[in-house]
Amino acid sequence: MAQSSPHTAPSPRRAEERGFGPTTREPLKILLLEDDPNDEIIIRHCLKQSRHFDCDVTSCNQIADARHLLATSLFDVLVLDFWVNAEDSLSLLARGADAPALPPSVVVSSLDMTDIQAQSLSAGALAYLHKNDVSASALDATLRTLLHTRSRENQLRQALESRSNAAEKARDEATGMAKQVISTLNAVTGLAETLSLLARSDKSRDKTGTYTALIRDSSDKLINSLQQRISGGTQPELFHNLRYGKACVIDIVESAVHFMEARCEAKHQDIDIVATVDRLEAEFDPQALRQALVDLIDNAHKFSPAGAPIRVTVDDEAEAIRITVVDQGVGMQDDALQQIFALPLGVDAPEGGLQVARNIMAMHGGTCEVESFPAWGTTVVLTLPRRRPTLN
């Protein structure tokens, strides 16, 4: 049996088995735009000889055909001749904002103009080859560089999008925190204004202690919210942990009304308080209830015309206390009400007031009911249990 010469080159299969070449090739779908039949055959042959890619080549010789194929099929790489039928093929790379993303592109040309490469890269191509340099190895290296560059671009784009999303989330959290701070500071300011009014009246002896406690409670809530934010916790809920205490509901109603009086006076809106008794005590979070009432009265103020009165009534219903806010404003459609109350508890609607009141009453074990008619006004009824809700 004849023996091989020791210098005989190993077969391709044997070379792959010994680790000298790739055993598998990555599939690659390529669109080739070339109007010269001979060049098309050469480039197609070189692509088929790639060591790293199994190239599935689709050819066309018209720019319009290439544009149609790009719009209807997916390709991994676009290889295009610079001049096609006396027309600049770089127009293919000029895509509108709504057009599908182009595959990474290689421009080939037989022209010796010094600015062809610069024009090609400026138009969006990622690589350029002179046709004199086209070979299987040159195209193979170009494709590997091309796909690596596109991969890095995609990674960078994803990283930037991730950073943008994180920044947007941080802005949303900061906005939510700012709203909570503003809400609490408004409450503190309103209580301070109420104390100032009481200091000039005969009621100051009985009410100063109550309002001082409310100011202290509001300040504590604000401090706790800011501390949670600083410590890196999730966005704090202003009324997530209620602070129950025995207090007079009518005092809280008066405090909320006093806070809104100046705004309502600017629109000549009278606010009347109607109570069946002088004192109605219950176990609840005074600051949370006050905020609910301020938001409801503020809604009535904003959505009522100048001169339209607002009435707040307080009724004793044995085991619960009913507080009603009535306005003669623009009212709401049924679908708008349903949209607000379809939200889960704990989520605030963009309109704010109604959903805030509903959340606060639910946390107290109470209810918030609304009746509204367009052009007639809105009535909101809060039902507050006298005793703190328990697990039983």
- Looking at the chain, the whole-number percentage of residues with pLDDT higher than 90 is 29
Average pLDDT of span 73-84: 90
Buried b (16+ CB within 10 A) or exposed e, 274-284: ebeeeebebeb
Q: Write the pLDDT tens digit of every residue in 366-378.
A: 999 999 888 889 9
End-to-end CA distance of the chain: 98
Which pLDDT band, with edges at 50, 70 and 90, does 273 fall under?
A: very high
Buried b (16+ CB within 10 A) or exposed e, 192-219: ebbbeebeeeeeeeebeebbeebbebbb
The pTM assigned to this predicted structure is 0.44
Checking if the pLDDT of 26 tops 70, the result is yes
Checking if the pLDDT of 156 tops 80, the result is no
- Secondary structure in 3-state letters for 220-256: HHHHHHHHHHHCCCCCCCCCCCCCCEEEEHHHHHHHH
Q: What is the CATH number of domain 239-385?
A: 3.30.565.10
**Among 69, 91, 68, CA closest to 81:** 91
Q: What does DSSP say about strands 87-88 and 53-60: parallel, antiparallel, or unpaired? A: unpaired
C-alpha–C-alpha distance, residues 197 and 64, integer Å: 80
C-alpha–C-alpha distance, residues 199 and 205, integer Å: 8
Checking if the pLDDT of 383 tops 50, the result is yes
pLDDT at 200: 59
Domain segments of the chain as ranges: 17-134, 239-385
Do 20 and 13 meet the contact criterion of CB atoms below 8 Å apart?
Answer: no
Q: What is the CATH number of domain 17-134?
A: 3.40.50.2300
Instruction: Return the higher-pLDDT residue of 247 and 152.
Output: 247
pLDDT at 86: 80
